[in-house]
Structure 1
Amino acid sequence: MVNQQLTTMKQPELGKVIQQRRLSKGMTQEELVERCNINVRTIQRIEAGEVTPRAYTVRTIMEVLEIPMSIETEEKKDKSIPPLFSYLDKRQLWWAGLTGIVYFILSSFEILWNMALMSGEEVQQPEYFVMLKVAVLVTYAGFAYGFWLLGKRTGNQVLQLGAVFLILVNAVLIGVDIYYGKGMASEDIWIGVFEVVAFGISMIPFSLGLIMSKKQLGQPYLVVGALGLVNAFIFISVILVLIGVLTGAAFDIACIYLLFQQSQKQKEESFVEAAVQ
C-alpha cells in the first residue's frame, strides 16, 4: 500500500519532501529525471511547489528515491528524512549572521578611518587602529564561515572556495593596512588601487557560488549573487569605488539576511520532515 499521507500531500510541502530526500541521497535533478523518465522542467516545478503532480508521478519518484512505500515498512526504518541542515547548523548560521552584523558595524567605522588616513590631511592614526583591523578580520571570517557551511551542506564547492578566498584576500589587505598604517597616503595611491582591485576580484567566485545556490536554496541567492558580481566589477573599475562602498554595504546586508533566513528555514524543514513520517 502506498503511503497515502505522501501521495495526498499538498504543495509546497510535497516539493520540499522530494527535494530533501533527493539531496539526502546526493542525487541531482538531472539524475532523478533520468531514472524517473520525467521531464526535467516537471521535476523543477514539482520541487518548487509550482505544480501538483499526478499520483502515478509521485509513486514513481517515491520508488526512485526509496521513500517507504508502506506504513509497516516505514515503522521498521528510520522515520525521518535527513534534513539538509542539522539543528547545530541552524545555530551556526544564526551566529554567523549575528557576526555579520558586528562586522558590518566595525567595517563601516574602518572605512571612515581609511578614507581619512588616505585623504592626505593631518589625521593621526588612532591607538586602536590595529585592534580595529584585527576585529574586522575576525568577524568577517565568522561571517564568511556561514556561507562556507551553506556550500558544504549543499555540495556547492564554488561557494565554499569563494568564502575561503574572501577570508584570505581580506587577511592580506588588512595586513597591508596594518603594515603601512598612516604611511599609505596620496603618494602610495597604487597600493590603494591594488587593494580595491584585489577586493573586487575576491568577490567574483563568492558571488558565482551564491548564484549557483539558487537551485537548492532559492531565488534570493541568485539576486544577491548578481548584486555581488555588479559590486565586484564596480571595485575593479576603481573609478567607481565610492559607489562601490554603497553597493558593498547593500551586498553585506543582503548576505546577512540570507544567513538569518536560512537559519529560520530549518523550522519549515522540520515540519516537512515530520509530514513524511
Structure 2
Amino acid sequence: MPSLNLPTLMREEISAMWHSTLKSMLIRRAYTVEMLENEGMNVINPTDGIRLSKDKYLGYYYLKKCGINIPETYASNDEMHTYFQILNSKSKNKNDKFVFKPMSGKGGIGIIITGEKSTAGDILSMFALNNKVAIFQKFIKNKGDMRIIVVGDEVIGGIYRIAGKGMNKNGISTGGKAVAFNVCDELKEISVKASKAVKCKISGVDIIEDKENNDYKVLEVNCSPAFDGFQKATKLNVYEKIADYLLKECKR
C-alpha cells in the first residue's frame, strides 16, 4: 500500500488496489481497507478476506460450512478440559499427535506438534498464561504439504513443502524445502473453493494429503502468502500474474 494518508487516497482515481498485509500493521491496515471499501474502491483482498483468513477459528468454520475437508479440529473456552476429554475418549488412539496453534499467526510461529500429555498440558497452560486462545487439531502423518497460489478464479501453481532435517514443520519460513509440482484438477477445484470460502481473491492455500482417509484436507488459507520460495521453486512471476488480474479487475 502506498505511503499516502486516507484523504489523499480517496481523492486518487484508483479502480483497484492490492495490498500485501504485514502482521505488524494488520489492524491499522484492515481499518484502512474497510474505509476504502466503503468509499467504493475495489480492494484486494477485501476486509472479510483478511478477517476470515487471519482468524483461524472463524476461517475453519467457513471452510467447513462450504463443504471443504479440514483436519479434525477443536476449540473451546476451556482448552485444557477439552483436550483431556479427547484423550480419555474411546475413539482416541494412544499414538495420536496433536497440532497446537494460536488463533492467529503467520510463518509457523507458535505452532507445536506433540503426542505427549504432559507437554500438551504445558503448551495449553502457556497459551492461557498469555491470554491466548489455542486451536488444536489431530496431526495428519505426512512427508510434506502443499502450498497452492490462487489469483481470482485461477490456480497459478503449487509447491510441495517438505520439512527440513530434524524438523516437524513443513513451512519454508521454518526451514522447509520447496519443490514445484503440477496441480491436478481436483486440487485446483479445492483451492479456488477454499479461497472463495474465506472471501479471498488472492491467497495461498495450504493442503495436505490424508492417506488414512484417502482425501485432501485444507490446513489454512493465507490472505498474504510469501512468494519468494514459491517463485524460486516454480520459476513463475507471481507479481506479474497479480498485475494482470488487477488490470482485469479495473476494467470490470
Q: How high is the TM-score relative to the length of structure 2?
A: 0.27
Larger Rg: 1
Whose helix proportion is higher, 1 or 2?
Answer: 1
Q: How high is the TM-score relative to the length of structure 1?
A: 0.26
Whose strand proportion is higher, 1 or 2?
Answer: 2
